[in-house]
Structure 1
Amino acid sequence: MAGFWGKRKRDQQELQAHDVDLAKRAGVALVAADERVRVTTDELIFAEAELGPDATKELREALTAVRQHMGDAFRLNQLNHDEIPDTAEELRTRNARIVQLCEWAEDVLDERTSVLADKIARARRAPEIIAGVRGDIVLLRARIPHARDTVERLAVRYAPEALAQVQVNPAEAEQLLGFAEHSAGVAERRREAGQREQANLALEASTESVRRAATLLDAVETFEVESLRAESTLSAIVEDSRGDIAVALREPHSPGVATAIGELQAALASLPTAGVNTDPFAQLNRLREANAGLDAAIAAARERAARPIPPLEHVRHAIDDADRQLAVASDVIAGHRGWIGADARTRLAEAERIRVDLDRYLGTSAAAATVIGDDHREQSMAMARRVAYLASEALQLAQRDINSSRPQDPGQWGGPGWGGGGRRGGGSDMMGGILGGLVIGSILDGIFD
């Protein structure tokens, strides 16, 4: 019995010690949270001066909610110290609630202020960023003549359909750089006038335009490399296709296989002769589809277990083709984001996902893999061809979107588009398409007045 009472006394002592500690924690939390509210209120005033009221709306609303809950916490603390006696349980419950409210308040303010931290830092660095933008404009403008020469050189070798992916990139990059330079000037003038929110929006437009211009010029150089890779890959796939036909002819007679062989032979026969401007991307697409059709027909004609394992060389060619097609589609969509609809973006995203899955499936980078086991080749080839097919679809859909959205005569900077006869002419449509979803609000009216 003495042991029982001794244990009960120890439990009561531990509970009392816990209550004392909880009361101290509640007091410390109240002070810390209240001070945090006061500091954040001062930070809000500075943030509104730097970024404007719209950018700080969420922080302002969070402060309002936090003040309301902190009022509840102070009321609970007041109840702990009024003249009305309280039980230990009541004190314990209130103090626990005070700690909870204070921790919630600090978490909310941490989250909201961290969101604004980068924007405020960027606003403080605006003069440095503008100087960097102007330096980038000079460097990118120096690349435009080379890009034009590259396009002219490629036009001698490739068909217009192939070159359509990058043919207008130099002109569009030049317009973007003109827009970026003008926007940088607007950002400076609005900042000097104390219109910080509009200045930040104009600076955002300027930096985004420079980034897009760089992407367009990079795409020209990428196209030249990828087109040469496409020709090399085409030559290899032609040999692969002939080998596939030889294998298919030894298969049991099947109408499906015979039809697929005929389609692949027709695709091979349609390849242009030497000296003719070609579209290696379109030719690869046709051969790829015909190869895939032959694979499907063979699969339907015999037991899966009897299917020959694809040679490692064929798998490598399929992976190379997938990477090339993915790179071209990605460059085109990145350079014309404002014109690209959901269909092209979805195909590209799915192609990129499967390409990542292929690396996971092989346990290493598929592009760098030198050995692919027999039990992985068939699946690897199917995944690579799926990537190439989806990327090809994404490129076709992107080109459709670009062709349907690009104005027939977009005009040049300062011409009939921007301020040359109307506030929002063809040039505005073009720049709106190139800049995509960049939201700069009513500042556009000021920029081009």
Structure 2
Amino acid sequence: MLNGLWWLPSLIVFGSAAVAVILAVRLMRAKQRQRGIDPVSTLRAIEQSAGAELVRADDLLREAEDEAEFARAQFGDSAAAELQRAVTRGRAHLREAFELHQQLHDAVPDSESQRRRWSERIVELCGLITEEVSGQTSNLDRMRALERSAPEQLAELEIAVAAAEAQVPDAEATLDRLSETYAPGTYAGVEGAVTTASRSLAAARTSLDASRARVASNEPATADIERASGHLLKARHALESVDRTASGLDSASAELATSVAQTRRAVSEATARRDQAPLPESADEISRALDVVTATIALVTDRRQLPDPLARLDELRDAVSRLDAALASARSMEQRIENAREALRGALFSARSHLDVAGGFIEDNRGRVGADARTRLAEAQRQLALAEAADDPVEALDTARRASRLAQDADALARYDAGPRTAPLKR
């Protein structure tokens, strides 16, 4: 009998799984209802939206195909090419969307998740179609707007080109002034700007003439108008580059003059500081920096050759930076000397105190103290004398500290030698 019920365990397993799925779906729907969402009506709304978007995308592509033909006739093949490519891509998207829509309405039963996923994909594909095609039709609308306003555009361009042409002599005069005032390398980048501007303006005139002829014969003039605008923009950039270069060089020249005056004042102050420097090393370092700055001032103010004000500014600032570093080093050394001078009094007092202690102990125990302690004491006395005679506070401080250490060593050795009072005398 058990062999006849071999299928029972499988039935239990699959039945349990089916029950779990049903319960999960019911639970999800119950939660949606608690939030006020009807899952059935939501899915139905998505499917309805997918159908409406599909119809709209199909109509849009049909209209776009007609629009591409109109654009080809009005503006030529190149103007319609991008729209035609967008239509081709849109047709591929539309085929996929129709296939999904067919699956939604065929006789094969579909799960709720499948229907939702397919409907959402249809909406996505239709959105891509709308985005691509609308972008290209907007470009064509812009071109048609330009065609309608071509006479006004031509009039504005005529005025703008004439204004740019009037600026050419001023730019030529500016270049002449630069060539007489500054080194050739400073304006080399704009030396051909006037030629570029003149050629671009001539090309703009040619495009304007072609545009006028097309407008007069009711032909599309957008391309020629845009070419004229492009040539005008290039000419303006060339003319502006001349003014911009001249302004930059003039500003640099003015800044150089100001910096030279400031540097000369700094040289006077640094010279006074050098003369008052307490250390020869500081004075020498400041003198070397002053020599560099003085030579640099002579170089950047040399009128025998046309200047590069930017390069001269850099040279002057480098020299001033070196002078600043020398002054900072001198200030640091002076501060170190002042600190050493303040510490020297204490160091000398400490050395004398240790010498007094060590000398007194050795005097009291002459028979027991050996040569090493006496040698240390003598050297400590010599170092103290050097410290008291030194002119450099830093050197004196180091020497006084050395004398103090030697005196302490002498005291320690003497006490070791002396030992207890019963120790034999040193011979």
The residue aligned with 2:300 is: 271
The alpha carbon displacement at 1:188 in A equals 4.2
8 Å CA contact 1:264, 1:294 repeated in 2 = yes
**From 61, 65, 84, the counterpart of 1:41:** 65
The residue aligned with 1:206 is: 228
8 Å CA contact 1:44, 1:59 repeated in 2 = yes
What per-residue deviation string (whole Å, max 9, x for no partner) do you get for residues 404-437 of structure 1?
A: xxxxxxxxxxxxxxxxxxxxxxxxxxxxxxxxxx
The residue aligned with 1:233 is: 255
The alpha carbon displacement at 1:181 in A equals 0.8
8 Å CA contact 2:172, 2:194 repeated in 1 = yes
**From 51, 74, 77, the counterpart of 2:101:** 77
Map residues 385-404 of structure 1 onto 2, 5 A cutoff. Answer: none
**From 142, 145, 156, the counterpart of 1:132:** 156
What per-residue deviation string (whole Å, max 9, x for no partner) do you get for residues 85-105 of structure 1?
A: 444343333222222222232
8 Å CA contact 2:190, 2:245 repeated in 1 = yes
Partners of 1:57 and 1:74 lie apart in 2 by 26
Partners of 2:191 and 2:28 lie apart in 1 by 87
What per-residue deviation string (whole Å, max 9, x for no partner) do you get for residues 275-324 of structure 1?
A: x6743xx1332231441465379669979xx8xxxxxxxxxxxxxxxxxx
**From 187, 195, 203, the counterpart of 1:179:** 203
Partners of 2:284 and 2:72 lie apart in 1 by 73
The alpha carbon displacement at 1:165 in A equals 5.9
What per-residue deviation string (whole Å, max 9, x for no partner) do you get for residues 116-146 of structure 1?
A: 6545544554443333222223233333344
The alpha carbon displacement at 1:68 in A equals 1.3
Partners of 1:56 and 1:258 lie apart in 2 by 77
Which structure has the greater CA radius of gyration? 2
Unaligned runs of 5+ in 2: 1-23, 275-280, 333-427
Equivalent AA in structure 1 for residue 133 of structure 2? L
The number of residues matched between the two structures is 297
The residue aligned with 1:286 is: 312
SS at match of 1:54: helix
The alpha carbon displacement at 1:219 in A equals 4.6
Q: 1:138 to 1:97 in 2, by over 3 A?
A: closer
The residue aligned with 2:168 is: 144
8 Å CA contact 1:51, 1:120 repeated in 2 = no
Map residues 345-424 of structure 1 onto 2, 5 A cutoff. Answer: none
Equivalent AA in structure 2 for residue 295 of structure 1? S
Partners of 2:69 and 2:241 lie apart in 1 by 44
Structure of greater relative contact order (alpha carbons < 8 Å, 6+ residues apart): 1
Identity of aligned residues (%): 27
Q: 1:33 to 1:293 in 2, by over 3 A?
A: farther
Equivalent AA in structure 2 for residue 233 of structure 1? E
SS at match of 2:78: coil
Q: 1:195 to 1:256 in 2, by over 3 A?
A: farther
Equivalent AA in structure 2 for residue 288 of structure 1? D
Equivalent AA in structure 2 for residue 239 of structure 1? A
8 Å CA contact 2:300, 2:312 repeated in 1 = no
Equivalent AA in structure 1 for residue 262 of structure 2? D
The residue aligned with 1:370 is: none
Equivalent AA in structure 1 for residue 69 of structure 2? I
Partners of 1:34 and 1:255 lie apart in 2 by 90
Unaligned runs of 5+ in 1: 307-449
Equivalent AA in structure 2 for residue 265 of structure 1? T
Equivalent AA in structure 1 for residue 88 of structure 2? T
SS at match of 2:300: coil
The residue aligned with 2:385 is: none
Map residues 191-340 of structure 1 onto 2, 5 A cutoff. Answer: 200-222=222-244, 225-242=247-264, 263-272=292-301, 278-279=306-307, 282-292=308-318, 295=321
Q: 1:256 to 1:60 in 2, by over 3 A?
A: farther
The residue aligned with 1:28 is: 52
**From 59, 84, 89, the counterpart of 1:60:** 84
Partners of 2:87 and 2:173 lie apart in 1 by 57
Tell me the TM-score normalized by structure 1. 0.52
SS at match of 2:77: coil
Task: Point out the more displaced range, 20-29 or 287-296.
Answer: 287-296
Q: 1:223 to 1:88 in 2, by over 3 A?
A: closer
